[in-house]
């Protein structure tokens, strides 16, 4: 059976769990990271020298990097559904996954860490505000793209929606000023209605 290492409140672990939920992939999950430790043991680092979660082992095949894992699982279990077969749709899904990692996440991370995981007296609020503006600019782009679309690549849910979904869940739940972005809000409602999102990604921020 597929083994997944990672704590359930990690944004990157949630991408993998949500993908498994969408595709009904059975898995065994082992708590790892932060208070659980495990990821700094020599045994773990032999599998992932970055000492980060998530990590999977599938029939002896070891893989780290959340988006590589999502792509692998989707190609193996969801080709033609969450993993688009058509080249251009596939590239489109890849584009949004990469955009989330390279453009959204660098702004989201400092806000999340300061507001959710750092005591109030130690927060770097100037950094939070700069990052908030950067994140807002990305959310405006995404909102405009979503006008007239059901999901990020069009009518169907794909792996392109997974990294964006876990990011916008944080955007909607962090204690920050938010622009009024109706198409993004509708998209978020659509994602929230998916049982696998609700089970693995729509969790309180901790």
Ligand X SMILES: N[C@@H](CCC(=O)N[C@@H](CS)C(=O)NCC(=O)O)C(=O)O
Question: Could you list the residues that contact ligand X (CB under 6 A)?
Answer: 10-12, 33-34, 39, 52-54, 65-67
Give the residue closest to ligand X by C-beta: 33
Give the C-alpha separation, 201 to 59, whole Å: 26
Nearest distance in Å: CB 95, ligand X: 17
Considering the complex, state which of residue 32 and residue 196 has its C-beta at the smaller distance from ligand X: 32
**Residues in Cβ contact with 4 at an 8 Å cutoff, skipping those fewer than 6 apart:** 13, 16, 17, 20, 27, 28, 29, 30, 54, 55, 56
How crowded is residue 105: how many other Cβ atoms within 10 Å of its Cβ?
A: 18
Q: Which is nearer to ligand X, 180 or 206 (CB)?
A: 206
Residue among 66 and 158 whose Cβ is closer to ligand X: 66
Helix (H, G, I), strand (E, B) or coil at 65: coil
Based on CB atoms, which residue is closest to ligand X, 109 or 178? 109
> Taking the mean position of all CA atoms in its chain, how far away is CA 180?
22
Task: Quote the least distance from Cβ 137 to ligand X, whole Å.
Answer: 22
CB of 13 to ligand X, least distance (A): 7
Q: Which is nearer to ligand X, 21 or 163 (CB)?
A: 163
In whole angstroms, the minimum distance from the beta carbon of 12 to ligand X comes to 4
In the 8-state DSSP scheme, what is residue 79? B
> For 105-206, where are the alpha helices, taking DSSP H only?
105-117, 125-146, 161-173, 182-192, 195-200
* Nearest-approach distance from CB 91 to ligand X, in angstroms: 20
Other CB atoms within a 10 A radius of the CB of residue 28 amount to 10
Instruction: Check whether the bond before 20 is cis (ω within 30° of 0).
Output: no
């Amino acid at each position: 059976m597929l083994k997944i290492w990672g704590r359930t409140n990690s944004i990157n672990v949630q991408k993998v769990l949500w993908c498994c939920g969408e595709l009904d992939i059975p898995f065994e999950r082992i708590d790892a990271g932060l208070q659980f430790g495990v990821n700094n043991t020599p045994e773990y680092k032999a599998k992932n020298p970055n000492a980060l979660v998530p990590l999977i082992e599938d029939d002896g095949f070891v893989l780290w990097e959340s988006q590589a894992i999502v792509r692998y699982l989707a190609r193996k279990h969801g080709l033609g559904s969450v993993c688009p077969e058509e080249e251009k749709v596939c590239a489109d899904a890849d584009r949004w996954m990469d955009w989330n990692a390279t453009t959204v996440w660098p702004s989201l991370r400092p806000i999340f860490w300061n507001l959710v995981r750092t005591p109030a007296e130690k927060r770097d609020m100037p950094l939070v505000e700069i990052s908030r503006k950067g994140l807002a600019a990305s959310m405006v782009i995404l909102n405009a793209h979503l006008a007239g679309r059901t999901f990020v690549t069009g009518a169907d849910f794909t792996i392109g929606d997974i990294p964006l979904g876990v990011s916008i869940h944080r955007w909607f739940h962090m204690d920050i000023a938010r622009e009024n972005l109706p198409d993004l809000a509708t998209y978020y409602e659509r994602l929230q209605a998916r049982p696998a999102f609700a089970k693995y990604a729509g969790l309180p921020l901790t």
